[in-house]
Amino acid sequence: MNQEVRLCEVGPRDGLQMAKGMMPAADKLRWIRQLADAGLREIEVGSFVSPRLVPQMADTGAILPEVLKMDGLTVCALACNLKGAIAAHEAGAHVLSFPVSVSDTHSRANVGKGTDAQLEVLASIVDWAQSQARPMRIDAAVATAFGCSMEGAVPVRRVAQVAAAAARAGADEIALADTVGYAYPSQVRDAVRATQDAVGERLAKLHLHDTMGLGLANALAGLDEGIRGFDACLGGLGGCPFAPGASGNIVTEDLVFMLESMGYRTGVDLPRLLAARALLASALPRESLRSGVAAAGIPRTFRA
């Protein structure tokens, strides 16, 4: 069994996009450096979206070239259309995260297009990226894969269909995203199995939220089905501005504690990761940071 688990810290993007207040660019860079120094090798540093709609991401183009100077770091950025994808590539992003919602209603609220139209945009981005001299990995984030606060239940069959369409469009990797945090473990199991049947190993990770308090349980269900990649956010911040009821991501600190305790290798130094909370707390004093490990302290029984 593969004991390596790849973590992507999404705090600088998903964690900040709904934050109360703006984190200064200098603090973002210091925080990303601390995350990288703690051993996180993949970080989503921001998004190339309308600064009018998501002002917290307006400085992504300025900070991304600075982040690229950090050795050994895979730098990810999100974009919702071809214009944003081109901007991400020109700024030097190694990975583009592209959202495709299973819920047509959420897709229209989030990106202004229905699901099928967004899949066509994904295909155009892949075609453009493949014509460039520098490669850029294209990840399709299959959003609202476990339920939608506007449409309600999302059929597993439809999740697999959208994932398969994203694979046909040329996505290098696919993630199933619990955008509003409604998932529960048996649902995660069923969706992962159906998607694996549809796209095989291209299903690389889960993006989980903790709205109902089941985030780590859902991660464990994914692990049991062979998933070895997860998005997470320091302090459990985050949410989608265009999905009513969406709340924070699974907590990176607690996920690392669980994985390392179980014998999985994340490459993350837990004490150094916890130390990175201080800058986040001081830069965003109106935000409440979560974490059982941070509240209780690392137990003496813990062995990385």
Burial 148-160, CB ≥16 within 10 A → b, else e: bbbeeebebeebb
State the Cα–Cα distance between residues 104 and 161, nearest whole angstrom: 13
Asked if 240 is an active-site residue, the reply is: yes
- Terminal CA-to-CA distance of the chain, rounded, Å? 18
Nearest alpha-carbon partner for 201 in 231, 166, 172: 172
CA atoms within 13 A on the CB side of 82: 12
Question: Do the beta carbons of residue 274 and residue 292 sit within 8 Å?
Answer: no
- Region label for 182, one of left (φ > 0), alpha (ψ between -120 and 50) or beta (otherwise): alpha
State the Cα–Cα distance between residues 13 and 239, nearest whole angstrom: 10
Q: Which of 8, 76, 233, 240 is an active site residue?
A: 240
Strands (E), the chain: 6-9, 42-48, 74-79, 95-101, 137-143, 173-177, 203-207, 229-232
State the Cα–Cα distance between residues 187 and 146, nearest whole angstrom: 7
Helix 215-224 × helix 185-199 angle, to 10°: 40
Angle at 59 between CA 53 and CA 61, to 5 degrees: 110
Nearest alpha-carbon partner for 84 in 103, 58, 115: 58
Which residues participate in catalysis according to the annotation?
240
